[in-house]
């Protein structure tokens, strides 16, 4: 029994260790920062000895990188690890870039490059839930590259870029990374950072975490249930006390409290992850954050006046009028400057409340009891009597305003993770102030009850009505929460099913590069997103011969197209061998007739190139509206399209379309030893670069003509390298498939 328990414990620890081993903590790895950005340079490999790179040492869990503060003209190796940002302290004064909070001008946008080399463990690459990248804070505009391929574009240029002028300084960003782009061993994660060097959000403005992990684990890192629950509670308090104000408009303290707590909820919501999914432009989020912060202090000050003094003081009016100035200045000068100045000025109300409602009344009471004391003076007794004489409600509210002002200003000027301690402080402030209001309500209620019993019954009836409404609202909130949870579960299940479908489809495609004594072939398949609409297959026999191959492209995108590829691959394989004695045109007729029946209920069709081979180098070829295959003869300077002379209509119609009863034709030709054929889908030639220019047929022909002719793999690698160089920085718009066939002789 003891051995079984010990074995279970060891197994559990082993599972936890394996899960932890999958995670790649980017803050625990060296980072390299470079001035400027060039997407094409990411394809040339990583050189740690490049003198233009500034190396930042690892600091697990706490390494913000504010690139504007890093001296890109100075290279040095930082030594030592500490709990601070590796920016300025270790750099000689003459190389420092000064970030002045009192600099009232806005700087032009600048670009930087951040490189983080990392090793991807096999367990992470083979993760069934996919791979994700979590960024605690990145801005103000940015792009993410893995091994030279872009995976996220939040910049103002490139494919699927944001609109010009839109900032994307995001907290809790998640980037989905395709496992096909990772290699077991060294990989390079690159970031293009674009923004104002004076803006602290230009770069990685949060200490952490910055990790690569399974997509399932990454999603859980973005959960902020506790923070959102607090914000929801503040919003509820705001609505509730606004309703109380509507019921009793003479008590303006309810209105001021409702406004103050509502502004607090808005301010804290602007510091969550989810706000960036709702409001695309982070500049708007930052403005709302600062505006709510500035307006909150006058609102609490007005609440204190109306709750304790029953009128608004001159100081509150003047301070509220002065608060309009930073509200306007944030649109003229950098927001960090406004935020810093306000963090200093906002302590004035706290000092005012402390002096006027605590220090001066305490001083008057002290003098009174010291003057009236008989015999030997007991200063401890005088102090406690003076303190007891103060208005308890006034003292509690004064301390609450002081605490709220101090905590908010500390919170507003930090770049750390969401401040959990401040959440509880704000909740205590909300509950304490609400308690004071509730006490006043109970006092008024008692007076009314003593005067008129009938009025008491009416008040009780109104209270019960409010309680019933609040209960209904609570029930509705519970139902909404349950519906939201079910919807979230359905979305997560759909995402998991999609990833599983991708892996299942990948399992149907060939894994090995076919190579026989007479033929060799190499292939590449790059899905645009998830499931591929392209397919290919090689027909080999046990006698070490390559009998043929097929390359196809299904119309449309998504799961439907992916299912058609699996069906079509099976139909082509079976008919290719079943009708081996017929011409390929007849084989294609049989395949088309079968797929018309299968695809009758859907709108998908296929373009296909089908080839039959023999050991003597003869090739029989038929095409169903597919892109032209390219031929390159050994020793010839340029590749050409493979078209029969004098025959225009040698291609057939797409596969799977009924009502087009035109027989398919096939052509036959012979290859010499060393000759090559390139069969590809239109995703290769029609892919555009960041300037909107297609790679084009000329690009494919030029790449094939310049490719090495030693073997099929090196030739196809050269072609795809040229293709990636042309399309660097642009998102893949269509599935890409290419097969290079070479006759060895």
Cα 37 to Cα 194: distance, rounded to the nearest angstrom: 9
Q: What is the average per-residue pLDDT within 673-678?
A: 94
- For residues 464 and 365, the model is more confident at 464
What is the percent of the chain where pLDDT is above 70? 79
The phi and psi torsions of 150 (rounded to 5 degrees) equal: -80, 140
Q: What is the average per-residue pLDDT within 443-461?
A: 73
Cβ-proximal residues to 722 (8 Å cutoff; 6+ apart), any chain: 699, 702, 703, 706
Cα 543 to Cα 15: distance, rounded to the nearest angstrom: 45
Asked whether the predicted pLDDT for residue 520 surpasses 90, the reply is yes
Asked whether the predicted pLDDT for residue 2 surpasses 70, the reply is no
Phi-psi region of 16 (alpha: psi -120 to 50; beta: other; left: phi over 0): alpha
Q: Write out pLDDT tens, residues 485-495.
A: 888 877 776 56
Asked whether the predicted pLDDT for residue 80 surpasses 50, the reply is no
Where residue 73 falls among pLDDT bands split at 50, 70, 90?
A: very low
Q: What is the average per-residue pLDDT within 539-563?
A: 86
Q: Write out pLDDT tens, residues 276-325.
A: 999 999 989 988 988 888 888 888 888 878 877 778 888 888 888 888 88
Q: What is the average per-residue pLDDT within 557-586?
A: 89
Cis, peptide link before residue 125, omega less than 30° from 0: no
Cα 298 to Cα 472: distance, rounded to the nearest angstrom: 34
Question: Which of these ranges, 157-161, 312-316, 486-490, 738-742, has the smallest mean pLDDT?
Answer: 486-490
* Distances from the Cα of 536 to the Cα of 505, 539, 585, angstroms: 12, 10, 19
What pLDDT does 145 receive? 94
What pLDDT does 83 receive? 36
What pLDDT does 500 receive? 66
Asked whether the predicted pLDDT for residue 91 surpasses 60, the reply is no
What pLDDT does 158 receive? 83
At 245, list the tokens.
């104000």
**DSSP-based three-state secondary structure for 336:** helix
Question: Which of these ranges, 130-144, 458-472, 492-506, 565-579, has the smallest mean pLDDT?
Answer: 492-506
Q: Write out pLDDT tens, residues 683-719.
A: 999 999 999 999 999 999 999 999 998 899 999 999 9
Where residue 562 falls among pLDDT bands split at 50, 70, 90?
A: confident
What is the DSSP code string of 114-178? EEEEEEE-HHHHT-TT-EEEEEEEEBSEEEEEETTEEEEE-SSSSTTPPPTT----EEEEEEEE-
Asked whether the predicted pLDDT for residue 84 surpasses 50, the reply is no
Contact 576, 583 (CB under 8 A): no
What pLDDT does 102 receive? 47
Question: Which of these ranges, 244-253, 512-521, 571-580, has the smallest mean pLDDT?
Answer: 244-253
Question: Which of these ranges, 273-282, 290-299, 588-597, 615-624, has the smallest mean pLDDT?
Answer: 290-299
Provide the edge-to-edge strand list for the sheet that holds 618-624: 534-541, 545-554, 606-613, 618-624, 667-670
Asked whether the predicted pLDDT for residue 501 surpasses 70, the reply is no
Asked whether the predicted pLDDT for residue 208 surpasses 90, the reply is no
- For residues 579 and 356, the model is more confident at 579
* H helix intervals, 509-610: 559-578, 584-598
**DSSP-based three-state secondary structure for 726:** helix
- For residues 74 and 399, the model is more confident at 399
Q: What is the average per-residue pLDDT within 177-193?
A: 90
What pLDDT does 429 receive? 65
At 690, list the tokens.
């960041």
Question: Which of these ranges, 16-20, 409-413, 429-433, 522-526, has the smallest mean pLDDT?
Answer: 16-20
Contact 166, 120 (CB under 8 A): no
- For residues 78 and 726, the model is more confident at 726
Cα 345 to Cα 426: distance, rounded to the nearest angstrom: 20
At 158, list the tokens.
């490139």
Asked whether the predicted pLDDT for residue 116 surpasses 80, the reply is yes
Contact 241, 207 (CB under 8 A): no
The phi and psi torsions of 659 (rounded to 5 degrees) equal: 80, 5
Cβ-proximal residues to 708 (8 Å cutoff; 6+ apart), any chain: 714, 715, 718
Q: What is the average per-residue pLDDT within 392-413?
A: 57
Closest CA to 356 of 304, 283, 422, 403: 304
Q: What is the average per-residue pLDDT within 639-654?
A: 81
pTM of the model: 0.52
Q: What is the average per-residue pLDDT within 674-685?
A: 94
Residues 252, 253, 259, 260: what is their CA dihedral angle, to the nearest 10 degrees? Answer: 160
Cβ-proximal residues to 514 (8 Å cutoff; 6+ apart), any chain: 520, 521, 538, 540, 546
What pLDDT does 736 receive? 94
Asked whether the predicted pLDDT for residue 97 surpasses 60, the reply is no
Range among 86-95, 328-337, 567-576 with highest mean pLDDT value? 567-576
User: 622-650: b or e for each residue (b if 16 or more CB lie within 10 Å)?
Assistant: bbbbbbbbbbbeeeeeebeebeeeeeeeb
- Domains in the chain, please, with CATH? 24-221 (2.60.120), 225-451 (1.20.1070), 510-743 (3.60.40.10)
* H helix intervals, 169-224: 215-221
Count CA atoms closer than 13 A to 51's CA, side-chain side: 2
What pLDDT does 14 receive? 45
Q: Quote the mean pLDDT of the chain.
A: 81
**DSSP-based three-state secondary structure for 249:** coil
- For residues 298 and 406, the model is more confident at 298
DSSP state of 305: I
**DSSP-based three-state secondary structure for 65:** strand
Where residue 392 falls among pLDDT bands split at 50, 70, 90?
A: low
How crowded is residue 368: how many other Cβ atoms within 10 Å of its Cβ?
14
Closest CA to 148 of 99, 208, 190, 97: 190
């Amino acid at each position: 029994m003891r051995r079984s328990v010990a074995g279970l414990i060891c197994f559990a620890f082993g599972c936890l260790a394996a899960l932890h081993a999958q995670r790649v903590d980017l803050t625990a790895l060296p980072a390299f920062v470079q001035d400027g950005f060039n997407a094409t340079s990411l394809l040339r490999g990583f050189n740690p000895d490049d003198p233009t790179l500034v190396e930042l040492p690892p600091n697990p869990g706490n390494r913000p990188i504010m690139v504007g503060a890093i001296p890109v003209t100075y290279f040095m190796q930082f030594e030592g690890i500490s709990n601070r940002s590796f920016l300025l302290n270790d750099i000689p004064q003459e190389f420092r870039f000064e970030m002045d909070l009192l600099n009232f001008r806005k700087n032009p946008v600048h670009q930087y490059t951040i490189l983080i080399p990392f090793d991807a463990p096999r367990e992470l690459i083979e993760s069934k839930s996919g791979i994700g990248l979590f960024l605690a804070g990145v801005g103000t505009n940015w792009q993410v590259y893995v091994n030279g391929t872009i995976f996220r574009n939040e910049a103002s240029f490139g494919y699927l870029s944001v609109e010009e002028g839109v900032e994307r300084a995001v907290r809790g960003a998640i980037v989905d990374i395709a496992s096909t782009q990772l290699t077991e061993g060294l990989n390079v994660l690159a970031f293009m950072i674009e923004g104002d060097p004076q803006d602290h959000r230009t770069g990685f403005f949060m200490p952490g975490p910055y990790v690569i992990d399974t997509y399932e684990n990454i999603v859980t890192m973005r959960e902020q249930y506790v923070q959102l629950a607090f914000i929801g509670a503040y919003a509820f308090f705001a609505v509730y006390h606004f309703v109380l104000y509507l019921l009793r408009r003479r008590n303006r303290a309810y209105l001021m409290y409702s406004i103050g707590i509502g502004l607090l909820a808005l301010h804290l919501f602007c510091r969550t992850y989810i706000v960036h999914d709702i409001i695309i432009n982070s500049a708007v989020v930052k403005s709302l954050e600062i505006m709510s912060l500035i307006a909150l202090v006058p609102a609490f000050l007005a609440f204190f006046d109306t709750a304790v003094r029953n009128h608004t003081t001159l100081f509150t009016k003047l301070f509220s009028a002065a608060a309009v100035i930073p509200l306007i200045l944030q649109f003229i000068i950098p927001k960090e400057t406004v935020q810093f100045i306000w963090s200093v000025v906002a302590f004035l109300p706290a000092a005012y409340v402390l002096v006027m409602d605590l220090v001066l009344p305490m001083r008057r009471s002290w003098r009174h009891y010291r003057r009236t004391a008989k015999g030997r003076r007991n200063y401890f007794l005088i102090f406690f009597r003076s303190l007891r004489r103060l208005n308890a409600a006034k003292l509690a509210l004064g301390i609450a305003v002081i605490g709220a002002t101090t905590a908010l200003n500390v919170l507003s000027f930090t770049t750390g993770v969401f401040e959990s301690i401040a959440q509880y402080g704000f909740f205590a402030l909300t509950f304490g102030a609400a308690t004071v209001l509730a006490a006043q309500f109970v006092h008024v209620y008692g007076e009314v009850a003593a005067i008129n019993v009938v009025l008491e019954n009416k008040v009780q009836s109104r209270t019960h009505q409010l309680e019933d409404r609040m209960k209904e609202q609570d029930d509705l909130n519970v139902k909404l929460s349950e519906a939201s949870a079910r919807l979230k579960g359905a979305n997560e299940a759909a995402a998991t099913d999609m990833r599983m479908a991708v892996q299942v489809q990948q399992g149907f495609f060939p894994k090995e590069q076919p190579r026989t004594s007479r033929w060799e072939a190499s292939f590449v398949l790059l899905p645009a997103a998830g499931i591929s609409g392209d397919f290919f297959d090689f027909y080999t026999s046990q006698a070490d011969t390559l009998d043929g191959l097929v390359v196809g492209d299904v119309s449309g995108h998504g799961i439907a197209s992916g299912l058609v590829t699996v069906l079509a691959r099976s139909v082509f394989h079976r008919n290719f061998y079943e009708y081996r004695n017929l011409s390929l045109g007849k084989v294609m007729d049989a395949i088309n007739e079968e797929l018309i029946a299968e695809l009758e209920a859907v709108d998908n069709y296929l373009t296909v190139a089908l080839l039959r081979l023999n050991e003597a180098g003869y090739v029989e070829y038929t095409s169903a509206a597919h892109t032209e295959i390219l031929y390159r003869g050994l020793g010839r300077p340029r590749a050409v399209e493979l078209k029969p002379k004098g025959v225009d209509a040698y291609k057939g119609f797409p596969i799977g379309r009924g009502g087009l009863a035109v027989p398919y034709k096939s052509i036959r030709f012979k290859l010499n030893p060393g000759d090559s054929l390139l069969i590809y889908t239109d995703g290769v030639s029609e892919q555009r670069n960041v300037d909107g220019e297609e790679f084009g047929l000329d690009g494919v022909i030029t790449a094939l003509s310049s490719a090495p002719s030693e073997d099929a793999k090196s030739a196809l690698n050269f072609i795809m390298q040229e293709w990636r160089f042309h399309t660097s920085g642009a998102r893949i718009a269509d599935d890409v498939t290419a097969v290079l066939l070479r006759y060895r002789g």
